[in-house]
Structure 1
């Protein structure tokens, strides 16, 4: 019952109960006195009757008003007091004090809204803790991935300065290694910059209508040149007559596909290397599958491969380690497009990366 209805009924009861009580008191006392004195009432008896009458009426009024006031005030003051306590505890950082209410009045609704706010603050606090932990891990990982190549560069430069590279061949090897290491650092910094912009939603997407069938025909033609060197090949599986036009940023989707394929190629040791791209239509989106014949991913690693800096290769070597941001960037870009990304894999049987893109209206 709402507080408004409760107050109205309380006021009505404060009027009706005394009136009804007065009526009943008049009847009961009148009957008792009439029977007791057999209808012969002198002035003293009349005065006694009036005193009893007014005393009873006063008692009824006091009792009625007291009980109704106590009931109404209790039903209002207790929830307000609980909300006040909750607000005070939340202000000190204590988010464990629940004010959930099963009452159907305005204060019950207010308490439940306050409870929802408390739960949201609690979730926000957990998210902030996770974000802070992730930030600290990110800084540690960036420090590691930048320090390692810097140490390598310093070592080779020191070798040149000390005359270790005393032949043209050694000097060329040292300078080539320094250049390649510096180039790897530059790529890492570029990926860090892109990842941070995507994470902060500061990377603007240039949406347009993209025909994924034509897009992958061109992309696979480019990829075939590199795969042929390793006796490999790339294929596209799709129905040419189907509609694969999506609303997307062409360059960002190119980055997604390139990152996935580069990640796949690091783990395809046996020849021939095979990349299979498949397109599947649904009512509102296109599902893209990029499958390889690499070494596969352990089932325990699959839920984490899209996390930043996660590597299935614990050695973090330069051959397979990479920056650890490739698939994280893939996830960020696809999410920015309103799509989803996931993976399926079996050890020694290859891996498949899937992502969805919304169809152009």
Structure 2
């Protein structure tokens, strides 16, 4: 079977080379390293063959390759990725380049979709490490370009580690900077990736660091463009919606326009209802963007929790009556907190209206309330719906996640409500979670500090102490 072979002289203190060290690794080790959950990762050798590919199944059994077998008879070529001339030219130029810090990126169309590829030359082996994702995966769900960069780093670190196993044993000088580099990468904030300074004098490790830094700059630039584009699009969508809704209200006022017949009124109602729905979606996208950029503003005021929940009860009664749902405000304490009332109301609305969608049409029940616990107040929303499986609970607070993803799904929504709720609660100093079993309903809980001002001040003190250290 095909293996990766490495040979290096053993050099004594007097400069003599009495022996050589040789080791071999089955290429299956590299195939295991390139396994990814999303996208595609592969390693290209100097001949243009894929020696590892997460999308290809290699025969790794003993005696699977004849002695003297040509690589083209066993390994796929880069043409199996794309026949695009630009793609092949970029890969060939990278293989021929002597610049070990080269980083390339290219796009190509495959299966009717645009793919984005980032690749890096590995100078020790004259190989290329590449990672690609379709744009649909990069621009939706809980994935973004930060995930792409971190994934590529992990794969490149794994490939380098696979090639340096023997050197790890022979020299502690190499293991220390690798561990230091990994530690610095783990401490990175994926929403704001920073450059990493070179470590020691090890050229190979520093080459990876330089590549990582260059890649982060490219990814951060693309992420900024994506954020600016999202901001522009949402603003342009929101601008015409306000006059549309305003004119709908005007059309329904007989004193201003005249009396409309029933069909005309129904048509105006449909326009107004969908315009408000689109306005809500645009608002959700703007909220997500503000939370991602840490730009959402929060007030700090005295909040009467009992009054807030009674307000929610009265405000939602019409919705509950329309769907024959029994709502219960089970708060038994007089509670006052110092926080942002509007944002807490936004979270409660999200959770309660989600429950409205999932409770049964007959005998639906939603219970909500709050109770004191130490320096916090715990809010809860419970329903008697179908419940949520443990597998789906893990992704429930991810952006754009839908419990029911079927074409005929009964429940609408953008999949942003719970992600926004999580961002708001954590920004207010609390936490949010779910407890549920299939067939036994779902219970959402979130905590809010009784005094957000004190929590914020204590966090600042901790930050100052950490900085001083």
Q: Normalized against structure 1, the TM-score is what?
A: 0.54
Q: 1:116 to 1:283 in 2, by over 3 A?
A: same
Question: What corresponds to 1:261 in structure 2?
Answer: 352
> CA offsets, 1:320-356, max 9 Å, x none?
1212211111111101111111112223322111111
- What SS does the aligned partner of 1:219 have? helix
Q: Normalized against structure 2, the TM-score is what?
A: 0.43
Q: For residues 230-241 of structure 1, what are the structure 2 equivalents within 5 Å?
A: 230-240=323-333
**2:181 is the counterpart of 1:117:** no
Which ranges of structure 2 fall in alignment gaps of 5 or more residues?
A: 1-12, 14-98, 104-119, 123-155, 169-174, 194-211, 238-260, 455-469
- 191, 213, 220: which one aligns with 2:284: 191
- 286, 295, 299: which one aligns with 1:202: 295
- What SS does the aligned partner of 1:352 have? strand
Once the two structures are TM-superposed, the CA of residue 303 in structure 1 deviates from its matched residue by 1.4
Question: What corresponds to 1:284 in structure 2?
Answer: 375
Q: For residues 41-56 of structure 1, what are the structure 2 equivalents within 5 Å?
A: none
Q: 1:206 to 1:349 in 2, by over 3 A?
A: same
Once the two structures are TM-superposed, the CA of residue 281 in structure 1 deviates from its matched residue by 2.3
**d(CA) in 1 for partners of 2:316, 2:266:** 29
More strand by share: 2
Question: What corresponds to 1:346 in structure 2?
Answer: 437
Which is worse superposed, 294-303 or 323-332?
294-303
Q: 1:118 to 1:206 in 2, by over 3 A?
A: closer
**d(CA) in 1 for partners of 2:290, 2:337:** 23
- What SS does the aligned partner of 2:296 have? coil
Q: For residues 1-361 of structure 1, what are the structure 2 equivalents within 5 Å?
A: 96=157, 116-117=183-184, 119-120=186-187, 174-240=267-333, 244-315=335-406, 320-360=411-451
- What SS does the aligned partner of 1:322 have? coil
Return the index of the structure with the highest Cα Rg.
1
Q: 1:284 to 1:89 in 2, by over 3 A?
A: farther
Structure with the greater relative contact order (CA < 8 A, sep ≥ 6): 1 or 2? 1
**Aligned residues between the structures:** 250
Cα root mean square deviation, aligned: 4.6
Once the two structures are TM-superposed, the CA of residue 358 in structure 1 deviates from its matched residue by 0.8
More helix by share: 1
- What SS does the aligned partner of 1:304 have? coil
